[in-house]
Amino acid sequence: HADLNSLDRDRMILWGTSAGGHLASVAGATNGSAFFQGNLGHSEQNTRVLGTISWFGLTDLQQMGHGGFWTWGVDRIAHLLLGEPMHKNPEKAQRLNPIKYIHSESTPFHFVHGGRDTLTNYHQSVLMHESLRAGGVESTCQLLTGLPHADVRFNRPDYFQASQDFLDRILRPSSTSED
């Protein structure tokens, strides 16, 4: 629907919050992967994007309840995503983890997460950020100390600025001109 909405399909960046951040991260991590292109709908359309912004999204379901990353909603979130408790089908849970799909063509990422998030702990963004960087993929991570999940204070202009800077850097790369 890019043409219908006057969008340039070659200059797309995904931006999602919470569950939308998880979905954007899956798409950004799998970017360029023929396996995930699929054959449903309009398979002739290019699904590549230039970048991904995730605000307080999930990146690794199995890490939500381990290693000190416990949150009150782990079982509920996993059950909603999987249709069953995570412990009943850990392989299915693993397939929903964007962190699993990082590869050389994953998009650049920008993460924003509150340090007091009790729904999707900020370590979710940190884990993905560190994994992307270890894989040679550009990633930035903005941790906002004291903010819980989806707090209204995320709307402050100074918090938006880092995401805007990311958009500008990806969509308006510096050009060199010949003299």
The per-residue pLDDT for range 43-70, each reduced to its tens digit, is 777 778 999 999 999 998 877 765 445 5
pTM of the model: 0.87
Residue 127 scores a pLDDT above 70 = yes
What does the CA dihedral 126, 132, 138, 144 come to, rounded to 10 degrees? -10
Residue 164 scores a pLDDT above 80 = yes
List all residues 6 or more positions away from 145 whose beta carbon is below 8 Å from its beta carbon: 115, 116
Q: Which of 12-16, 34-38, 73-77, 173-177 is least confident?
A: 173-177
Q: Give the mean pLDDT of the chain.
A: 86
Q: pLDDT band at residue 73, thresholds of 50, 70 and 90?
A: low
CB contact at 8 A, 23 and 47 = no
CB contact at 8 A, 60 and 124 = yes
Q: What is the pLDDT of residue 67?
A: 43
Residue 128 scores a pLDDT above 70 = yes
